Amino acid sequence: MVKELSLGITIAAGIFLMSQGINILPFLFLVGGGYFLYKFVGNQDFGGKLIFSQGNESQGSEIDFSDIGGQDTAKNELLEALDFVKNKKEIQKLGIRPLKGIMLSGPPGTGKTLLAKAAANYIDSVFLAASGSEFVEMYAGVGAKRVRNLFKEARKKAEENNKNNAIIFIDEIEVLAGKRGQNSSHLEYDQTLNQLLVELDGMSNNDEINILVIGATNRMDILDSALLRPGRFDRIVKVDLPDKEGRKEILTIHTRNKPVAADVDLTQLAKETFRFSGAQLENLANEAAIMAMRDKNDEITTTNFKDAIDKVMMGEKLNRKPNDSELRRVAYHEVGHALIGELVQPGSVSNITITSRGKALGYVRHNPDDDYYLETIDYLLDQIAVLLAGSIVEQEILGCLSTGAKNDFKKAVQLAEKIVFSGMSELGVVSKDSLPQNKLHDTVSNIIAQQEKRVMGIINQQQNFVAEIAEILLERESIAGNEFRNKKQKIVS
């Protein structure tokens, strides 16, 4: 109403002035320019306003630690730190100071944000979240002001909601807290980090509102050391990829609200999802449910889960289909990988397919017997042999190579270099920086040549078996690992 009245008065005044012979164009330009500048400055956020998600008693974190699986070590370490905050009076009797900051470090999708939200729920606090990139601007002083405003807002929200605690969660904190002196063009990054350090130092045990800062990063190597010293971020909690038992626990959590068929074995699925993150496992359960809906099933079957694993790993099936000659080459190539894979690790082949997904025209899914954290020389040589097997089948049976083995060769060279720089080659312990390139090339070539000779002998003995499985693939597009093993002849190593 006010806007309409003001507009009417302005128009009437303009008509009156024009009737008196007064030129109002300069006045209109002046008003229009002022309005434009007002809107422009207002949109630039020179004041350091920061938009973030906030929690309170009505919209606080509904995530509980029981909703997070596969991270028992991280949860236990975090819970101990939270108990210091929760039982502030009791710990003061022992002279223990509450922790000011906790750093969650780990690969993407492992549950760092969920842990922070569960922490807010556990200590009954308000929850404010922001990303590190939101603090950095081209304008000097904006980032530092945003940091000050964030801590001020945390205290304000806690008071408004009658809370004694507040959690400030900063995701991608490496953007805000990278090593100082790296950006020579301007010091805005350093000023922003300095302000965060000042805020952490200013927190004390006697504050009415206890603030806990939780940072999340997958780049611990680039964080400034001043941020991680005791008294600021006191604890670094590793949030790693879940092990087999952890993956089973996560799958159990994400399938409890879904109609899962009785034949689904979550233990086997956990085995087949080696190196899957929690986010990937949640996506796996969701994709399996989508596939069950497509098939008009009332329950999610093992087949749905198997297809979902392939989709999460490789992507959706592609409409493009190679011609008959290319498809035959792909089939022989993949059987080569599967044959050597089954030789070096019996029972590891889960599925062979020539269905195109993502960038792959076909692939073999291998499942290790158990999770592993160390790689021996024998294991690395076996993996090189598996990678070379596809191209050797093409060469020995089909008569020539193709570009389909390019990525296999790249990975084989990387594994050979890992052997060299781990001190497991004929060179012994070497320095990566001082080893001559020609020496590295000769050693890597020798390692790969030995495995080529090894694989070539096996392939030449098993040509009939390779052809038999390849024909099955051409007919059905895929074959399960168990069927492959049942048809496998005795392999002579």
Whether 306 and 224 map to the same domain: the answer is no
Kindly write down the DSSP assignment for every residue of 140-183, as one continuous string.
TTHHHHHHHHHHHHHHHHHHHTT-SEEEEEEETHHHHSBPTTS-
pTM for the whole structure: 0.76
Give me the numbers of helices (H) and strands (E) for the chain, helices first please: 18, 9
Please give the pLDDT value at position 350: 87
**The CATH number of the domain where 483 resides is what?**
1.20.58.760
Please give the pLDDT value at position 146: 85
User: Is residue 266 included in any domain, yes or no?
Assistant: yes
Please give the pLDDT value at position 210: 84
User: Is residue 96 included in any domain, yes or no?
Assistant: yes
Q: What is the pLDDT of residues 224-247, one digit of tens each?
A: 888 888 888 888 999 999 999 999
Helix axes 437-461, 463-476, angle to 10 degrees: 90
Whether 332 and 467 map to the same domain: the answer is yes
Q: How far apart are CA 387 and CA 340, in angstroms?
A: 9
C-alpha distances in Å from residue 237, one per residue of 71, 234, 240: 11, 10, 9
Supply the range of the domain harboring residue 465.
324-487
Whether 275 and 377 map to the same domain: the answer is no
Please give the pLDDT value at position 21: 66
Please give the pLDDT value at position 31: 63
Q: What is the arithmetic mean of pLDDT over 117-129? A: 89
Residue at a domain's end among 254, 285, 314: 314
Q: What is the pLDDT of residues 12-53, one digit of tens each?
A: 666 666 666 666 666 666 666 665 555 544 444 444 444 444
Closest CA to 393 of 331, 332, 324: 332
Question: Would you state the structure tokens that stand for residue 125, as one six-digit string?
Answer: 């606090």
Place of tokens 């028992």: 72
Please give the pLDDT value at position 38: 52
Whether 132 and 266 map to the same domain: the answer is no
Confidence of residue 8 (pLDDT cuts 50, 70, 90): low
User: Is residue 57 included in any domain, yes or no?
Assistant: yes
Q: What is the pLDDT of residues 53-94, one digit of tens each?
A: 444 333 445 788 888 888 888 999 888 888 887 777 777 777
Whether 233 and 335 map to the same domain: the answer is no
Q: What is the pLDDT of residues 438-488, one digit of tens each?
A: 999 999 999 999 999 999 999 999 999 999 999 999 999 889 888 898 877
Question: Would you state the structure tokens that stand for residue 387, as one six-digit string?
Answer: 């990678």
Please state, as a whole number, how many other Cβ atoms lie within 10 Å of the Cβ of residue 96: 13
Q: Which residues pair with 167 in a beta bridge?
A: 127, 212
Residue at a domain's end among 238, 272, 289: 238
Q: What is the arithmetic mean of pLDDT over 253-261? A: 93
Q: What is the pLDDT of residues 280-331, one digit of tens each?
A: 999 999 999 999 999 899 999 999 998 899 888 888 877 777 888 999 999 9
Contact 190, 147 (CB under 8 A): no
Please give the pLDDT value at position 13: 65
Contact 462, 489 (CB under 8 A): yes
Total of domains in the chain:
4
Active site amino acids: 334
Contact 49, 63 (CB under 8 A): no
The amino acid that residue 84 corresponds to is F
Please give the pLDDT value at position 250: 94
Q: How far apart are CA 381 and CA 379, in angstroms?
A: 6
Q: Which secondary structure element, helix H or strand E, spans residue 266, and what is its range?
A: helix 266-272
**The CATH number of the domain where 280 resides is what?**
1.10.8.60
Q: Which secondary structure element, helix H or strand E, spans residue 363, and what is its range?
A: strand 363-366
Question: Would you state the structure tokens that stand for residue 257, as one six-digit string?
Answer: 């609200």
Please give the pLDDT value at position 32: 63
b/e per residue, 370-389, with b = 16+ CB within 10 A?
ebeeeeeeeebbbbbbbbbb
